[in-house]
Amino acid sequence: MSATVMDGRATAATVVADVASRVSTLKRPPKLVFVQATDDAASASYVRSKARLAAKAGIDNETLKLPPTVDQEGLEATVRDLNVDDGVDGILVQLPLYPHLNAQSILEAIDPAKDVDGFHPENVGRLWLGQAAWAPATPQGVIELLDRHAIDVAGVNVTIVGRSMLVGKPAAALFLQRHASVTMVHSRSRDMVQHVRAADVIVAAAGRPGLIKREMVKAGAVAIDVGQSMSDGALVGDVAPDVAEVASFVTPTPGGTGPMTVAMVVKNTLLAYETRLGPNA
Amino acid sequence: MSATVMDGRATAATVVADVASRVSTLKRPPKLVFVQATDDAASASYVRSKARLAAKAGIDNETLKLPPTVDQEGLEATVRDLNVDDGVDGILVQLPLYPHLNAQSILEAIDPAKDVDGFHPENVGRLWLGQAAWAPATPQGVIELLDRHAIDVAGVNVTIVGRSMLVGKPAAALFLQRHASVTMVHSRSRDMVQHVRAADVIVAAAGRPGLIKREMVKAGAVAIDVGQSMSDGALVGDVAPDVAEVASFVTPTPGGTGPMTVAMVVKNTLLAYETRLGPNA
């Protein structure tokens, strides 16, 4: 028996089509602004793919590329201008920044109501308090992928491998909201293998190629691969390919959770617009 | 073999003595203000015990008892006055409030820098981001109790039963910071028993008397009881008494985690003072 491969590209396209359909009913298109204070090629390509998908959803977007000479105050001033611009609904500061800039203080400078990445402390808190209108894109994309495959996680065992603020921790909050039993393991965990083996749903976000092996996965489990590493010029995930022989569902890498992340940035911009404008949206 | 009983009252007294020793070196005593907008007898008694322990630590404290006629605006105005009063270091709004008042909006009105309960969304977020100077008192008291018994949780399995914002969720953040593998289970969990059985440390915070039974506990595990229910006029915990026959450490109820919670409110006031005043403390 072989697992169903969840097509992240196709699911992301469905999400974007749903967003586009909602956007077409709004008074004006939501607007997302990317702040790019980096020369990193991968970041630039990532911003372009988000911008492309935003355009497909009918969301206005703009990329502010700042020169390497920008200082912390200049970057913060850019963010403050966007905070008070009523025509801007979402602000996304692409990480990593130029090395001389401080990421945390920039992330905190963004108005929480426009923080479509969900990294501002207030938004992190609201996520855990069950008050957030949106969540960080990658874990929200994982949940959306499960939802759109009608996989109900209430009561079941979800094991999350990796504890970053971008994926592991917010994923735990989201799965707990969905009433799963949630286990968080990481590089320091003594019994990582046992926790993965007990899982009905595995979320692998360690960035260690092939970490999750076939013999660690319960028959019929769902294996969601968020890990992305480069190996011999190819993008590889944390889940070994032969896990598909025992799992019920797996995600491909590439083409799995990656496209879902991009789609959720687009959806979060719509949610930020709707939340901020309320009944006037 | 019988478990070591962790004496919460004695440990709390040690914490308070340590706080008192530090307070005696400060420019002025820190000040904690209790806002009591309730007629609830248990809340009043709880405020009194916190005030007593604060006094023992040399911390100034005051209780503002508001009448049942106070409205939301009046309560918020009280909090705002305390926010801007430079002589006030900690503000604690005792819950539950009079039924006509909204707790969440009051908790958000407190200046995060004076929020010694740690319930403000920004403080919840900072806890998960590893940036918090203090944490909610009950789970912080659990960690302190383990620390003072030299129980290292790095790498081991911690199972938390209950997912409240007061205990379960912040406990998960704290144990994750200590590099434990953390599992959160709750009333909807299918495999609660298995997760408890796999635990090296159990934190029981479900409020269901005797939920954790002897046969669910691994030999040598540490069982921390945060549950408090009234049964036949007596305070009982979530951990059945005979768990002490298999565990290595247990907490008594009463006299376990309860006194630690009160001590941590006192300690948090010192931390709030030190954080706000910085090198001028």
Judge if B80 and B190 occupy the same domain.
Answer: no
Tabulate helix, strand, coil % of chain A (nearest 5): 45, 15, 40
State the Cα–Cα distance between residues B185 and A158, nearest whole angstrom. 11
Catalytic residue list of A:
50, 94, 117
Tens digit of each residue's pLDDT (9 = 90 or more) over B237-255: 999 999 999 999 999 999 9
- The CATH number given to whatever domain includes residue A81 is 3.40.50.10860
Over residues A113-121, the mean pLDDT reads 97
Residues B92 and B155 in one domain: no
Strand ranges inside A142-252, DSSP E? 157-161, 181-185, 201-204, 222-225, 229-231, 234-236, 249-250
Output the six-digit token pair for A271: 């949610």
pLDDT of residue A263: 98
pLDDT of res. A280: 78
Q: Is B103 on the interface with A (CB under 8 A)?
A: no
Note whether residue A14 is domain-resident: no
Given a contact cutoff of 8 angstroms between Cβ atoms, the answer to whether B199 and B218 are in contact is: yes
Same domain (yes/no): A152, A243: yes
> Of B71, B95, B111, which closes a domain?
B111
Question: What pLDDT does residue A215 have?
Answer: 98
Residue B2 pLDDT greater than 70, yes or no: yes
Q: Which of A191, A219, A181, A205 is nearest to A253 (CA)?
A: A205
pLDDT of residue B139: 98
In this predicted structure, the answer to whether residue B76 has a pLDDT above a threshold of 90 is yes
- Based on the fold, state whether residues A81 and A173 are members of the same structural domain: no
Residue of B nearest to A162 (CA): B181
Percent of chain B exceeding pLDDT 70 equals 100
Which of chain B's residues have a Cβ under 8 Å away from the Cβ of A124?
124-126, 128-129
Q: Is A86 helix (H, G, I), strand (E, B) or coil?
A: coil
List chain B residues with CB under 8 Å of A191. Answer: 157, 181, 198
| Residue B179: domain span | 137-258
Contact (CB<8Å) B156/A192:
no
In a domain? residue A119: no
Just list the catalytic residues of B: 50, 94, 117
Measured CA distances, A236 to A211, A240, A252 (Å)? 11, 9, 9
Give the nearest chain B residue to A161 (CA atoms): B181
pLDDT for the residue numbered B280: 78
Tens digit of each residue's pLDDT (9 = 90 or more) over B166-210 = 999 999 999 999 999 999 999 999 999 999 999 999 999 999 999
A147 within domain boundaries: yes
Average pLDDT of A32-37? 98
**Helix boundaries (H) for chain B:** 8-23, 41-56, 72-84, 103-109, 121-128, 137-147, 168-177, 192-197, 257-277
Q: Which of A79, A112, A145 is the last residue of a domain?
A: A112
CA distance A260 to chain B (A): 24
Q: Tell me how many domains chain B contains.
A: 2
Q: Is residue A19 one of the residues assigned to a domain?
A: no
Instruction: Name the band, by pLDDT with cuts 50, 70 and 90, for residue A279.
Output: confident
Identify the CA nearest to B193 among candidates A169, A17, A198: A198
Task: Report pLDDT for B129.
Answer: 97
Contact A128 B126 (CB under 8 A): no
Checking if the pLDDT of A252 tops 70, the result is yes
Task: Report the b/e string of A47-85 with b at 16+ CB within 10 A.
Answer: beebbebbeebbbbbebbebeeebeeeebbebbeebbee
**B110 lies within 8 A of chain A by CB:** no
User: Is A126 part of the contact surface with chain B (CB cutoff 8 Å)?
Assistant: yes
Question: Stretch A81-105: mean pLDDT, rounded?
Answer: 96
- How many beta-carbon pairs under 8 angstroms link A with B? 106
| DSSP 8-state assignment for residue A166 | T
Give per-residue pLDDT as tens, A192-222: 999 999 999 999 999 999 999 999 999 999 9
The answer on pLDDT for B97 being more than 90 is yes
pLDDT band at B125 (very low <50, low <70, confident <90, very high): very high
pLDDT of residue B223: 98
Q: Is residue B266 part of a domain?
A: no
User: In the predicted model, what is the mean pLDDT of residues A109-117?
Assistant: 98
CA-nearest residue of chain A to B129?
A: A165
CATH number at residue B236: 3.40.50.720
Tell me the residue type at A10: A
Chain A contact set for B155 (CB, 8 A): 188-190
Q: What residues of chain A lie within 8 A of the CB of B199, using their CB?
A: none
User: Is residue B141 located within the same domain as residue B95?
Assistant: no
The answer to whether residues B142 and B238 belong to one domain is yes
Cα-Cα end-to-end distance for chain A: 48
- The pLDDT confidence band at residue B279, using thresholds 50, 70 and 90, is confident
Which pLDDT band, with edges at 50, 70 and 90, does A1 fall under?
A: low
Classify residue B169: in a domain, yes or no: yes
Q: Strand pairing of B181-185 and A181-185? A: antiparallel
Amino acid B146: pLDDT: 98
Instruction: Check whether residue B151 and residue B247 sit in a common domain.
Output: yes
Q: ipTM of this model?
A: 0.96
Q: Which residue of A has its CA nearest to B123?
A: A125
Alpha helices in chain A, H assignment, sequence order:
8-23, 41-56, 72-84, 103-109, 121-128, 137-147, 168-177, 192-197, 257-277
Predicted pLDDT at B1:
66
Residue A41 belongs to a domain: yes
Asked if B163 lies within 8 A of A186 by C-beta distance, the reply is: no
Whole-number Å distance between alpha carbons of B260 and B138: 7
Q: Which of A122, A124, A181 sits opposite B195 (nearest CB)?
A: A181
Q: What does pLDDT average to over chain A?
A: 97
Is residue B157 predicted with pLDDT exceeding 80?
yes
Chain B residue numbers with beta carbons less than 8 Å from the beta carbon of A194 are 198
What residues in A contact B121, CB-CB < 8 Å? 121-122, 125-126, 129, 131
How much is the pLDDT for A78? 98
Structure tokens at B57: 């630590």
Test A124 with B123 for CB contact under 8 angstroms: no
Residues of B in contact with A129 (CB under 8 A): 121, 124, 165
The shortest C-alpha distance from B44 to chain A (Å) reads 26
The mean pLDDT value of chain B amounts to 97
Residue of B nearest to A155 (CA): B189
Same domain, B163 and B254: yes
- Interface probe, candidates A184, A187, A201, chain B, greatest B C-beta count within 10 A: A184
Residues B75 and B160 grouped into a single domain: no
Whether residue A90 is contained in a domain is answered as: yes
A72 in the same domain as A36 = yes
Same structural domain for residues B100 and B142? no
Q: How confident is the model over B68-87, as a mean pLDDT?
A: 97
Mean pLDDT of B48-58: 97
B59/B144 same-domain check: no
